[in-house]
Amino acid sequence: MKIGIYGQYYREDKTECVLNLLDELRNIDATVHIEKGYLEILRDHFDIADTYQTFSDFSDLDNSYDLFFSVGGDGTILRTILYVRDLDIPILGINTGRLGFLATVQKEDIKKTVEVISKGEFRVKRRALLQITTDPGIEDQAEVNFALNEVAISRKNTTSMITVATWLDGEYLTSYWADGLIVSTPTGSTGYSLSCNGPVITPSTDAFVLTPIAPHNLNARPLVIPDNTKIRLKVSGREENYLVSLDSRIATLSNTTEIFIEKAPFTVKMVDLEDQSFLKTLRNKLLWGEDRRN
């Protein structure tokens, strides 16, 4: 079994779980490759005697991997996707952060998780991504043109609102007068969009959602659209530039740059263990059904 591991940070109270993970993977004779920077972080804090092969970016990987472990929180999984991209490698997140909808394996469950993985007793669910292009094109667009959670348009260097003119499949929808606009996948509906009063969408739903950020017109509500919709956005405002973010990556664009958003031509595989489900995670993370008064 060929396994990739990616993480970002060292946290004294959390990172030892990756040592447990390495031990358990050794027990099943897995071939382990660790992201080079993360392995250096681990070696700075732990005595790791074993020699591991490393990778540094997407070009070092191929589709021979059986599984990728992402050690951290949901943000780490979003970074992991930059390595996996369209290689169709299933990703499983070990949660060492706080609120996590994607990283669902707790550190105390690592031993059981590796046993289950080694037996093939897990499901793989595909998650849709967003892809953007711009007119005129932006440099290095191929490195930043897809997102698992959301594409967000927001103001820059101003406290004034911006206007985001929006077209769906070539038909004019409206101009959002707001701090910005979020275009979210079902996966991202529990992230930034949710904090802006967007709806929660189950991952298997073939839909995207447009969620305005602090709109001036309170009648501007989130809008759920089919995921085959082609979206065109044009920004205007007092400043000459605005921000576009794709998950955790941010770029500055001029107001003369239009953005085109559509469903990406590839999906990402996420691992679901038998005792996990999106609805169970939703109840646990959002405390649905709990009455804190009692």
Give catalytic residues, as residue numbers: 74
Q: Which residues of 122-161 are buried (b: 16+ CB within 10 A; e: fewer)?
A: beeeebbbbbbebeeebeeeeebbbbbbbbbbbbbeeeeb
Block residue for tokens 């892809």: 131
How many angstroms separate the CA atoms of 65 and 94, rounded?
18
The span from the CA of 129 to the CA of 117, in Å, is 25
251: which 2 tokens? 């770029």
Q: Are strands 207-213 and 223-226 parallel, antiparallel or unpaired?
A: antiparallel
- Between the CA of residue 219 and those of 222, 232, 264, 281, what are the distances in Å? 10, 21, 30, 31
* Residues 261, 131 contacting (CB under 8 angstroms): yes
Bridge partners for 184 per DSSP: 150, 209
Other Cβ atoms less than 10 A from the Cβ of 66: the count is 15
From the centroid of its chain, how far is CA 199? 17
Of 242, 259, 56, nearest in space to 141 by CA:
259
Q: Which residues pair with 292 in a beta bridge?
A: none
